[in-house]
Amino acid sequence: MSQVTQQETAQDEAVHGGDAVHRVTAGDDGAARGKAFAPEYQGALGSLSVNSSLTDVLARGIEELRAAEEAGEQREAARCGLAVAEAYRRLGRVGEADRAWRASYRAARAAGDVGAMAWALWSGGTLARQRGALRLAYRLLRLAAEAGRAGGDVVVRGYSLAGLAETGRIQGDYEAVGELHEQLLAEARRRGEARHTVWALEGIAQMHRNTGSYDKALALFEEAAETAGRADDRRGRAWALRGIADVVSVRDGDAERALALLAEAEVACREMRLSSALAYNHKMRGNVLYRAGRYEEARENYAQALGEFRAMDEPRGTALSRLGLVKSLARLGQDATRTAAELAELRDTLDRIGLRHARDMVDRAAAELGVGPLPAESGSSGSGGGAGVEAGVGTRTGTGMPVVLAEGALR
């Protein structure tokens, strides 16, 4: 199934999927209406907060996972393994995250728990997107949505549909996923599910920002920040503050306000050990400083973010930080021929990942710096990567449950 077809199917399910989709944000744990909760923390870890430090989540998750494995409790092992996988992913420890979600999937399958299988697939799909393997992300998130429906877990189904929407959004497929974002926002608001409301508001705001509708983007980012604040969702608020900083910088040229907002967001990122969010915060600082003509400071922040993204094996952030670094160095006097060559290499990298909006940013940078047109493309396509791993993922067993086929890849 093509990526666009997957997005259209997810959108159709959001409209016609019946009560299973309409209850995507209505968790079964009695979470207070309007307060953020973390449904990925389950079983013995269900008391953890959305604001829990990731290092604390990881330590407790590993402890509870070992206890469940020693007791032979596969269902509990799957649940605890999910929290471990998500903590590793958000800390940027992608190799360990990959092993953890696969182990959670195996435990869930051994327990015959289709809902837990769906959560593991969701975690794997989210990790694949983070690593730039977008085709694999679509595949796993689609399987997660199907398993969520089969297992009657409306929350993981909603998270998986949101994951499909976000994957399309970061590729620049706004027409394909814009309406799905709006539908998921409406459902989240109707259910009073703050975390998904904040996510949807930020996603819609980002699409408006990237298409030049700065006033709409700012209003939505501000609503997201206010909603996250009321819900005590520090992670969501940190991302929203980053969005506000971006808009006030590009629209108003207000670098000082933008830097103050980013400084506030950084506090939460550091306290919660949000490695990826912190790296994107540093990259945005580079953007703000670059727009203000403070090129040496911008270079320093881009270089810092680049190191952080490389340490996490995060290709999207790596490429975007490299772009900012190349632009800053060009402004500081780097040779035009070298700048053009680096931009051409970046364009090919972004094509391989499948990031259309970011690829356009490279072309605009070349024009801005007076080094265009860039050399001819190398012929790479925006496949989104991950084909080799994707071959190990199948769709169904005889009972209708999704299953990962290549057992060797799961050991």
pLDDT of residue 34: 58
> What CATH number does the domain containing 150 carry?
1.25.40.10
Is residue 404 included in any domain, yes or no? no
Neighbours of 70 (CB within 10 A): 9
> What CATH number does the domain containing 219 carry?
1.25.40
State yes or no: pLDDT of 136 exceeds 90: yes
- Tens-digit pLDDT profile for residues 17-53: 333 333 333 333 334 455 677 889 999 999 998 899 9
The reply to whether 242 and 291 lie within a common domain is no
The reply to whether 292 and 152 lie within a common domain is no
- Tens-digit pLDDT profile for residues 296-306: 999 999 999 99
CA distance 337 to 314: 27
- Tens-digit pLDDT profile for residues 238-271: 999 999 999 999 999 999 999 999 999 999 999 9
Question: Per-residue confidence at 373, pLDDT binned at 50, 70, 90?
Answer: confident
Range(s) of the domain holding residue 87: 1-192
Q: Which two tokens stand for residue 261?
A: 């907002």
State yes or no: pLDDT of 383 exceeds 70: no
CA distance 62 to 117: 19
The reply to whether 109 and 159 lie within a common domain is yes
Q: Which two tokens stand for residue 115?
A: 């809902």
Candidate from 5-14, 205-214, 316-325, 391-400 with smallest mean pLDDT: 391-400
Is residue 2 included in any domain, yes or no? yes
Asked if 198 and 236 touch (Cβ cutoff 8 Å), the reply is: yes
**396: closest CA among 18, 190, 130, 121?**
121
CA distance 150 to 232: 32
The reply to whether 172 and 244 lie within a common domain is no
**41: closest CA among 129, 92, 104, 112?**
104
Of residues 221 and 5, more confidence is placed in: 221
Percent of the chain with pLDDT over 70: 82
pLDDT of residue 378: 53
Is residue 257 included in any domain, yes or no? yes
Q: What is the DSSP string of 161-223?
A: HHHHHHHHHHHT-HHHHHHHHHHHHHHHHHHT-HHHHHHHHHHHHHHHHHTT-HHHHHHHHHH
The DSSP bridge partners found for residue 404 are 393
Number of domains in the chain: 3
Q: What is the CA radius of gyration of the chain?
A: 21
The DSSP secondary-structure symbol of 53 reads: -
The reply to whether 374 and 255 lie within a common domain is no
The reply to whether 31 and 180 lie within a common domain is yes
Mean per-residue pLDDT of the chain = 86
CA distance 109 to 125: 17
Select from 167, 192, 217 the last residue of a domain.
192
Question: Per-residue confidence at 154, pLDDT binned at 50, 70, 90?
Answer: confident
pLDDT of residue 159: 92
Select from 243, 266, 289 the last residue of a domain.
266
Is residue 316 included in any domain, yes or no? yes
CA quadruple 46, 51, 57, 58: dihedral, nearest 10: 140
Select from 211, 232, 266 the last residue of a domain.
266
What are the CA-CA distances from residue 388 to residues 102, 121, 122, 183, 385 (Å)?
16, 17, 19, 33, 8
Is residue 411 included in any domain, yes or no? no
State yes or no: pLDDT of 392 exceeds 50: no
pLDDT of residue 193: 86
Q: What is the identity of the amino acid at 275? A: S
